[in-house]
Amino acid sequence: LVHREAITHSQLIHPNILPFLGIYHQTAESPPITILPLMERGSLQDTLNGSSIDTDTFSRIVSPISHHYCQLTLRTYHWNTQLIGITSGVVYLHSRSPSIVHGDLHPGNILLDLAGNPYLCDFGLSRIRHEITRTRTMIQEAGRLRFLAPELSGGWSKRFRTSPASDIFSLAMTFYNAWGGRLPFHEVRNDIKVAGKYRKGLRPDHPSDAVALAQTSKQPLWELLQEMWAQEPSSRP
């Protein structure tokens, strides 16, 4: 399975897909280790948690200008760049023949280089679309229920099939998280309860801004998110 994933990954060449460098076997019996580039800024989740900020470097850059103003400006620049890059990477996967579904999109699986450019990574749950079937148990173990489409988190024994539409739902929740700086339904501590809300058609409220979006951009973006997380997969863009 790892080798099949590696072959698929090695064929993906895109500015926003983490490059595949190879596989390493320490011994003949040891499991293979995938070799990937080091992304110095960690993941988008690290940035949202505030754990990837080099404060000394940041201070040197912004010292001549208001710290607060520059922080908002840089966040907005990086956020716009990241949104475009992440979307471009997903479109590339879905446009392959046969299409590739990532299957595990969330901020922790989006890595950032020093310039803040995003790279999709961790295709551990991604598969060629016509091959995948899994159970809810495996998805719950992956711990990504807040970003998982409602059609994938049904009954314990219900079989499901990921699709480009399920990736689009995950993409919407990822953008929501980045926009507001908080998890979807952050006030609910239990991930399973959040998944239950999704299955009932409930969605998080309009986020408070964590990035300084132009006023003219907020409503169109909010309307786009509502299309992307539509309950019916066929209704998603």
Does residue 43 lie in a domain region? yes
State the Cα–Cα distance between residues 4 and 101, nearest whole angstrom. Answer: 15
Q: What is the per-residue pLDDT for 212? A: 61
Q: Which domain range does residue 154 map to?
A: 39-235
Cβ neighbours around 209 below 10 Å, total: 14
Which residue pairs, CB below 8 angstroms and at least 24 apart, start in 1-9? 2/31, 2/32, 2/34, 3/32, 5/123, 5/124, 5/126, 6/32, 6/34, 8/100, 8/123, 8/126, 8/128, 9/34, 9/123
- H helix runs in the chain, sequence order: 2-10, 44-48, 55-62, 67-95, 136-142, 164-180, 191-199, 215-228
Q: What is the per-residue pLDDT for 204? A: 96
State the Cα–Cα distance between residues 1 and 198, nearest whole angstrom. Answer: 31
Does residue 1 lie in a domain region? no
Output the domain CATH number for residue 171: 1.10.510.10
Whether 44 and 107 have beta carbons less than 8 Å apart is answered as: yes
Does residue 185 lie in a domain region? yes
Any catalytic annotation for residue 113? no
**Of 46, 54, 56, 104, catalytic:** 104
For the chain, how many structural domains are there in total? 1
Please write the tens of the pLDDT for every residue from 79-90. Answer: 677 888 999 999
State the Cα–Cα distance between residues 22 and 142, nearest whole angstrom. Answer: 24
Cβ neighbours around 156 below 10 Å, total: 8
Does residue 168 lie in a domain region? yes
Q: What is the per-residue pLDDT for 185? A: 95
Peptide linkage before 98 cis (omega within 30 of 0): yes
Q: What is the per-residue pLDDT for 63? A: 41
Q: What is the per-residue pLDDT for 99? A: 87
CB burial readout 103-116, b (16+ within 10 A) else e: bbbbbbbbbbeeeb
Does residue 10 lie in a domain region? no
Q: Pull the structure tokens for residue 19.
A: 């490059």
Does residue 216 lie in a domain region? yes
Q: What is the per-residue pLDDT for 25? A: 79
Does residue 188 lie in a domain region? yes
Does residue 22 lie in a domain region? no
What are the residue ranges in the chain where pLDDT is below 50?
A: 52-74, 124-143, 156-158
Pick from 175, 183, 178, 18: which is nearest to 112 by CA?
A: 18
